[in-house]
Amino acid sequence: MDMRIVFGIVKIEAKLATNEIIIEVSDTGKGIENVEIAKQPLYTTKPDLERSGMGFTIMESFMDAVNVESIVGLGTKITMKKAIKNEVVEEDDIKAFRR
């Protein structure tokens, strides 16, 4: 019997731009074969009893833009953008946020 423990990396990065917040989530998992199918509500790769595939639907309802890049065997990167409304972000604020 061949039993393996697989470790991967999940990276979450938030950036503050002049007029938007950018959140990137990436992993070194197995990747998504068909991103368009994976975006459908209730899609999941888990067994039926663990069905919870609302992630893309929730992200798209809260964010202004969601982009998914995935390469099978290498991993996935999801970039989400949300405009900052009714606020002006100064360059000094951005520098302070990055510290």
Give tens-digit pLDDT for 27-36. Answer: 998 888 888 8
- The whole-angstrom separation of Cα 97 and Cα 15 is 9
Q: What is the pTM of this model?
A: 0.69
User: Which pLDDT does position 82 carry in this prediction?
Assistant: 92
If 0-12 CB within 10 Å is exposed, 13-18 middle and 19+ buried, where does residue 16 land? Answer: middle
pLDDT recorded at residue 49:
54
| Cross-sheet strand order for the sheet of 20-27 | 10-16, 20-27, 75-83, 65-71
The pLDDT, as a whole number, for residue 87 is: 57
Looking up tokens 């074969």, which residue turns up?
Answer: 33
Does CATH place domain 10-98 in 3.30.565.10?
Answer: yes
